[in-house]
Amino acid sequence: MDDPDELAPAVRSILSGARERASAARGADGDISVSPRDLSAAFERADAEDRVPLIAEVKPTSPTTEGSREDDPVALAEGMVAGGAAALSVLTEPGHFGGSVDTLERVRDAVDVPVLRKDFVVDEAQLDAVESDVVLLIARFVGDDLPTLLEAARDRGFQVLVEVHDREELERALDAGATTIGVNNRDLAELVVDLGTFESVAPHVPDEVTLIAESGIGSPADVRRMRAAGADALLVGSAIMDGDVAANTRELVRTEAGGDEATADGDDAAAADGDDAAAADDDATETTETPT
C-alpha cells in the first residue's frame, strides 16, 4: 500500500474510516453468497443496442463536489436505467459519500441491471456487509492483499472490478488474476483528473480483460475519447447526478449512435440549404457558407 503521506487528506480520511469499519466488521457470523447479474453480458447487450456500455453512479455527495443530492436513491437509479445505463454503481461509504448498505439493497431490489458496490474494501470482513453483483477493490488501498481479497470476493460469488491508477498497479492487478479492470483518471494525491491517465494505461491491458474508464467523464466528447482509447465501458458519477439523471445518462450512452445520426442530419440539412439557395438565386453558382 502507498505511503499515506502520498495521499490527499480526504483520501487518507476515507482510508482511515474504511479500516475502522473493517475492524468493526470482523467476527460477524457467516459469509455472504451471491448469485450475481452478469456484468459482461450487460455490456454486450448495450453494445448490441448501440448504447455505450455505461455504469451510472448513485452518488449523493463526494469530497470533490459541492453540496449533496437528497433525491430518493431508488428514483435516481430507476432514472439512470431508463436512460440506458447498462449497470449501476452505488456508494456504501457513509462518511464522505453519503452512502449506505441500505441504499444499495433498495436499489438492487428495484432494478434488473448489475449493481456495483462502490466502497473502500480493505479487509475480507467488509465483503459480508451486503449483497451486490460486483465489488470494487482498489489496488492502491489493498496493496499485497489484492490476490487474497480477489479470491475471497469470488468465493462469495461476487464479480470484481479492480481499480488501478498506473502501469505498476495494472501489473499487480493482472498478476492477481483480475479480469475486469478500471483505470481511475483521478490522482489520489492531488485529486486532479486527467483523461490522459486512461490513455497511458489502456494500451497495456490485454484484450481479454474488460477495461473500464473511471472519473472525469463529463461530456459526449469525453465518452468518444475514452472509447477511442480502448474503454469497453465507462463509469460516470457526477456528470449524471448533476441535473436530470435520465436525460444525462441518455446523452452519454447515445453518444456514438447519436454522433452518426447527427452527422447524417447535418449533411441532409446542408444539402437542403444548398438547394434552397440555388432556387432563390438563379445567378448563384455555389454556396460559400459552411457550417462551423
Q: Which residues on neighbouring strands pair with residue 159, listed in sequence order?
A: 134
184 is catalytic: yes
Query: 211, exposed or middle or buried, with CB in 10 Å at 0-12, 13-18, 19+?
Result: buried
Catalytic residue, chosen from 89, 185, 215, 248, is: 215
- Tell which residue, 182, 166, 138, has the closest CA to residue 14: 138
Q: What is the pTM of this model?
A: 0.82
214 is catalytic: yes
163 is catalytic: yes
pLDDT tens by residue, the chain, 292 residues: 445 557 777 777 777 676 776 656 665 556 899 999 999 999 999 999 999 999 999 987 655 555 465 789 999 999 999 999 999 999 998 866 778 999 999 999 999 999 999 999 999 999 999 999 999 999 999 999 999 999 999 999 999 999 999 999 999 999 999 999 999 999 888 889 999 999 999 999 999 999 999 999 999 999 999 999 999 999 999 899 989 999 999 999 999 875 444 433 434 443 444 444 444 344 433 333 333 3
Beta strands in 180-281 (DSSP E): 180-184, 210-214, 233-236
185 is catalytic: no
Catalytic residue, chosen from 118, 124, 169, 251, is: 118
59 is catalytic: yes
